[in-house]
Structure 1
Amino acid sequence: MIFRPLLLGLGLLCAAPQLSAAESSDPPFCLEQQEEENLKAQAYIRSYLAIAIEEMNRSGIPASITLAQGMLESNYGRSELARQANNHFGIKCGKDWSGITYYKNTQEQTAYGTQRTEMACFRAYESVEDSYKDHTNFLYSRKPYRTLFAARNMDYRFWAKGLKEANYATDVNYANKLIDVIEKFDLAKYDRVSTQYQLPSNTDLNAYRADPNLDMGEDLSTVRNRVERLENSLQQALAHQIELQVQLKEMNRQIGQMAKRDDRLNGKINYVGTALEEQKEVIEELQIELNTVSSIQRQMLTLDPFRDYFDPETGLKKQLVIFPTQHHNQKGIFYKNSRRATTLREGMTLDDIAQEHQLELKSLRRYNDLSMGEEDNLPPNCYIYLEAKGNMVEDEKGPHKVNEGESMYTISQLYGIKLSKLYKRNRLEEGEEPAVNEFIFLNETCDNKPALRGANPYQVGENQPNVDLFGGGGAKK
């Protein structure tokens, strides 16, 4: 985020025994070692506090727990797994992981307290931020941790003990170690931090202004970075504008019900109205700057040797893979959601697949939610099911986040679930498509309908639905 308040000072934290080691009878560290550990902890907290708080606001996991786990599991970001794979939480691959992997020997503690060494597969990430986000998704999508989220309890002791009871780690002292880290570095205070939006200053705006004469000389990555920063700033400003409008409307409603006007309430209304006007001016100025930089970006994209990977109008990276490659048996079949399926290979038609597997074409259409003629528009490498798709998805992984280029149909084919069930559980009418970054529930019925593709989530009117500006439509409460 661009307008992020300062969250951590530079003073030294209190020293204590090394957090990742078990209790021992060794003598206390010397002063130099204690200071070195504190400096490592400070550097780690300073680097990842903001993303920990963002994940807390997104999921409800206390920032103190996320930071403590990261510090403990990665040895302040200095472990082999952290340095080589950006994995700060020791999360192993699991059968549902299809991303990058990293293999290494690991020490596991048995139920009797003894240690054993084994070679294990761990998840790897492009960045540490991806590791933090996957940590949230991992806990949220696993049944053993659901009681932690359902309790809506921000007490770090409750979470530390709950993680151990859910067997997050084999270490019998895992809960106590987490609590020691949190109390040693006073991490619990960040569980009460809320990243509030602040109006950008003139200095901020000057930093984002575009000079076409200078920008044409900059490299493409610099211009793209500026566009991304302006877009993020504009989204925050628009989100804050909607919050102010909602507050103003609610205050006006309260005034209409009051027999006598309250001077203090009128003062608040005047303040919100003034802030709203200031916000409109900021949005207009940011929009002008964004249009200028976007125009320069489109010109430079035409000269970029990698331009085929970007849409020249939006500057967004194209969706290259919708259906991951599957291993087929000798009959050209693989199993998805316990259903027999194959892949629509290049140059093949649905009729070719029907003849190859001795099926009627109308049956194949019915299995794959297709009407006559629709098979001509199937995406490349689309999964084709040779029997009826399921009503549920086995081994539920949580909701699916919509990527660029995906549709309700491709999502139903990706998981092997009937399209009608997918529409119903997400409160969508046939033909409606969710916007990119919205969540589509697979086995549960969502509470809120996701934002639709092509809709403007920032326009507020009498009939405008209440949507989530940053994805997460259909999120469970």
Structure 2
Amino acid sequence: MNFLKNSLLLCLSLLVYGCAQAQPKDMDEKVAYVERYRLLAVEEMERTGIPASIKLGQGLLESRWGTSDLSRLANNHFGIKCGKDWNGEGYYKEDDDLNDKGELIKSCFRVYGSAEQCYRDHSAFLMNPAKKERYGPLFELKRTDYKGWAEGLKKGGYATDPGYPSKLIKLIEDLDLHRYDEITYQDLLSEIGTLPTLTQPDSPEKIKPVLVVGVPQSTNDVKFIIAGAGQTVKDIASKQFVSPKSLMHHNPHISGADEPLKAGTRVFLQSKPKAWRGQETYHKVRKGEGMIDISVLYAIDLDKLYTRNKMSHGQEPAENAQIKIRGGKVKKQPKLKSDQPDKKPTPMPTVPQTSTPGNMTTTATSTIPPTTTSTGTKSEVPPSKAPTTHVNTTTVGASNNKVNPVNSGGNDPFGKSNPVPNSGTQSTSAAGSVVAPQYHLVMEGDTLESLAQKFKTSIDGLKKLNNLSTDECKVGSKIRVK
């Protein structure tokens, strides 16, 4: 009898000890989850208006802080089911769906290529115009009203659990997640110091997530595909039963239909609207971002984005500038990169008139900087006593009717950046300093004549700048206008 009593006491002690030990481990895992995804949550908050505390809290709750099978195998952190509009892969598991006989059946959940895709699709899910009656009232709440959001999600039918709001609020308060509702992306990034790794570390016990590419998604009501490494526009066009020409028209950030794309490149399947349809009115420019990057991020027509901000093609915003993404035109043009204080020009050496071997003849009458060879070494150009202001370079045998599209948006996180093509002519100001070239994305209806009128130049001038032998300009290409 004493032996049985002692055994029961021992088991009870071990159980209490086990629970006490499990609690800190769970808390550590929750904190690790928050640290991994908090920057992404704040970025989405700035983009859409969904509180970062709600996104992190739901991610924690629905994925059991990233340890559930659904989050590990399908990268689905928010328990989003396939629904009628989903065309991607599905992950099937029992949840709360019943058949006609009232029997529990497996539900279809969306499969994502990454946790980042899931976080962004969660935003699109809540902002879907078809769900406006259910979730629309949430976007009228203050960003800091996480309790109102938690109650509203339950009221809108996000979860069937009656205790869903209280569980969500407890997580937010226990982990102090509401502080992220009052911080900016830039401030949080400065606090963290480095970009976090979004993918969870692999371990022998953990099943690696399924990598899925080509899953149709949408942002701003525009459908797009996330490309896999090495895919081309032609590959995607054949699978989506659309023409490569049509896709190129929708994707000015991609230079060619045969260009091998980087993994993660967005390929839009539809034309973009004139403005952002979310809650945000302005976008704060981050380091290295250009107008084309912002156009891709929000799925906004690039020409309309330039027009709304009273900017010309080729102009780029300065870091921390506010770019208007919806509504009417700005009263004052945002600060540009070119607005930065001018530095004294560095004297440049000049090239005397020479003839080079082979097919290239160079007439040099202008100041040019040292060139860099393919091996990375600088080739110094001998100085001239009489610097002048014009360079004319002609390549014999080169095609004169092809314009190389270029990325005027700086470093494009979704696509491949391309060097500016050498048109053979450098524009100069009256003072003799080199003027930065400007480019225009050729749209339907554009002609050399209309572009010449728009940019106050001549047809012959445009042809000379772009080495064109005909008056044809290809839709989707970028043509130098100044």
Q: Name the TM-score, length of structure 1 as normaliser.
A: 0.42
Structure with bigger strand share is 2
TM-score normalised to structure 2 length: 0.41
